[in-house]
Amino acid sequence: MTRRTAARSIVALVLAVASGWTAAPALAGWQLSGTTFTSILYNQGIAYDRARGNVFFDGVTSTTNSGLYRTNAQLSLTGANFGVLPATTEGFNHTGDLTFDPLRRRILLPLECYYPARGGNTCGVGAIGVADPVTLRFLYYVDLAPSQIAKAMWAEIDPSGRWIWTSSGTHLLVYRVADVNPSVAARQRAGATGGIVGQDLGPVLPASGVTGAAFVSEPFTHARELLLALNPGPPALVSTTPQRLITVPQSFLNNEPEGLAATRVFDVSDPLGGVLHWQLLPKITLLSLFSRILNYVRSDPAGAQLSVTASPPRRRRIEGPALGRAAQRAIVAALR
């Protein structure tokens, strides 16, 4: 698929979302299958390596850095880097909803400078960082053109492995995966070139607060759609198919939506009991240091009414890295 064809396709899909945004979500297309309680360290994003069954998480660990974590298919921790970001001239300290590059075997981290005490986004630059999925070591980063995007809150590689999707405000942006490479990063650090420019598909999103995204496929037709997690307001998932909308009443437990990930249909190694996995954070206090993943399966083909307010059929708690009291306080301060 060419860039122009891909752009036309996604614009048509997202415009369908925008046109149906105010409509009642009668046929959501997804059914809640369970809830998984995980470590508070997993607080910004989730990504899945389909080839090896690894799950990657990231999240703020302090006001100055973020962590990167790898688990196996049973969500048992197999690797951790509690301070993944090196010192940069921009001052990057925050990673958003990450994505896994299956063709080049690397983790892509959306980067921003987020210092609430200094006014929020202090550098006005977004970037895509690259990390090794085995060592979890940060390798390099490529700046995005500030004229298009001031911070990168999420990144998602499409199923072809050729395009990186993200957003700025209500504008949907698409970048070539091949442009995120060590040569471009080196030229940028030397001042020889500016941030890479993506395809701006226009103000086609229904809201500006996108915190995560995932591409999902229909199990039989293999039709693809892009799901977006939206914030502020009641946490919501909106699809690129009209009237496929999931909202969760805002509460102490459902306070802030974060990352999204999709796993394979009929994947027997998937312990979460679903295909779509959505991170939600509670209101963060020293008594609520956990993250939750809502797990969804496709709803009945007849389109039965979806209710996410009912008790889920399965709840599971999975322990993450142990945290000392000082680390707990640091995370609480960073997430507020």
Q: How many CB atoms lie within 10 A of CB 118?
A: 11
Calculate the CA 80 to chain-centre distance: 18
Assess contact for 203 and 224: CB atoms under 8 A.
no
The CATH architecture to which 10-335 belongs is: 5 Propeller (2.115)
How would residue 166 be classed by pLDDT, with cut points 50, 70 and 90?
A: very high
What's the pLDDT at 242? 53
CA distance 78 to 55: 10
pLDDT tens-digit profile of 264-290?
755 555 557 788 999 999 998 888 899
Least confident of 42-46, 157-161, 259-263, 319-323: 319-323
282-327 pLDDT, tens digit each: 998 888 899 999 998 877 554 443 333 333 457 788 878 888 888 8
In which band, very low, low, confident or very high, does the pLDDT at 113 lie, cut at 50, 70 and 90? Answer: very high
- Best CA proximity match to 254, nearest among 293, 228, 280: 280
The helix (run of H) or strand (run of E) holding residue 143 is strand 138-143
Binning pLDDT at 50, 70 and 90, where does residue 238 land? confident
Mean predicted lDDT score pLDDT of the chain: 83
The 10 Å Cβ neighbour count of residue 46 is 28
